[in-house]
Chain A
Amino acid sequence: GESVGLHLPTLSVQEGDNSIINCAYSNSASDYFIWYKQESGKGPQFIIDIRSNMDKRQGQRVTVLLNKTVKHLSLQIAATQPGDSAVYFCAEGNQAGTALIFGKGTTLSVSS
């Protein structure tokens, strides 16, 4: 599958490949992290979240990994489909309820 070690603004994969999108967050005090998918002309759509007491969480075809030591977050999408094509944003916040701070988006393009 395709992966990126550092944040890249775009990622192109073939249908069926696994995709890995990386994100670096800035605030050591953040203890809640969330991935959103945004399609053209739509608002961000919740994908998966993770709290700081975990380092991995799995959903349907998606896995989020959290490395607090280096303040790094990644989203893995298994068997990527054309419908996964969108811009993906990571966001950080805290469980005390402050608003989310969004990272730079990654545009995922899936070709069949």
Chain B
Amino acid sequence: EAGVAQSPRYKIIEKRQSVAFWCNPISGHATLYWYQQILGQGPKLLIQFQNNGVVDDSQLPKDRFSAERLKGVDSTLKIQPAKLEDSAVYLCASSSHRGLEQYFGPGTRLTVT
């Protein structure tokens, strides 16, 4: 079974620029999560989707972050404009049952200069 795929793996941008990340979950997994992991900390949820609907986006900085999962499969996370404090690894995870046994992708390491 293929795992969660993410791209790009690395991205370096200047502050105030825009960036987008892509995630393809495990086939058949209805729930998809985006987490932000700052160096030295545990992942923190940004947004949770159930199929193509948002379940929880309470911790998403909506003035600059947006995410979509239009067809209930792939998802994109966008940051516009980026700030220095957005430097982190952005992890995508999926699960077949809400909240249980989440499987993580390799992450995208974002550096904002």
The CA of A100 and the CA of B55, in the complex, are separated in Å by: 13
Residue in B40, B48, B103, B107 whose CB lies within 8 Å of A99: B48
Number of A-B contacts defined by CB within 8 Å: 64
Name the B residues within 8 Å of A49 (CB-CB). 100-101
Name the B residues within 8 Å of A102 (CB-CB). 42-44
In the assembled complex, B82 has its CB within 8 A of some CB on chain A: no
A40-79 CB contacts (< 8 Å) to partner B: 41-46, 49
Interface size class of B (residues with CB under 8 A): 20 to 34
In the assembled complex, A94 has its CB within 8 A of some CB on chain B: yes
The answer to whether B99 and A43 have CB atoms under 8 Å apart is: no
Name the B residues within 8 Å of A43 (CB-CB). 4, 91, 93, 104-107
Name the A residues within 8 Å of B97 (CB-CB). 97
Name the B residues within 8 Å of A89 (CB-CB). 42-43
The answer to whether A97 and B101 have CB atoms under 8 Å apart is: no
The answer to whether B42 and A91 have CB atoms under 8 Å apart is: yes
Q: What's the minimum C-beta distance from B30 to chain A, rounded to whole angstroms? A: 10
Name the B residues within 8 Å of A105 (CB-CB). 40-42
The answer to whether A44 and B56 have CB atoms under 8 Å apart is: no
Q: Which residue in chain B gives the minimum CB-CB distance to A41? A: B106
The answer to whether A100 and B105 have CB atoms under 8 Å apart is: no
The answer to whether A44 and B104 have CB atoms under 8 Å apart is: yes
In the assembled complex, B75 has its CB within 8 A of some CB on chain A: no
8 example contacts (A-B, Cβ-Cβ < 8 A) are as follows A43-B4, A43-B91, A49-B100, A93-B100, A96-B99, A98-B56, A104-B42, A105-B40
**Known interface pairs A45-B104, A93-B100, A105-B40; 17 further A-B residue pairs with C-beta atoms within 8 A, sorted by A's residue number:** A32-B99, A32-B100, A34-B102, A43-B91, A43-B105, A46-B101, A49-B100, A94-B99, A97-B55, A97-B98, A98-B56, A98-B98, A98-B99, A99-B56, A102-B43, A103-B42, A105-B41
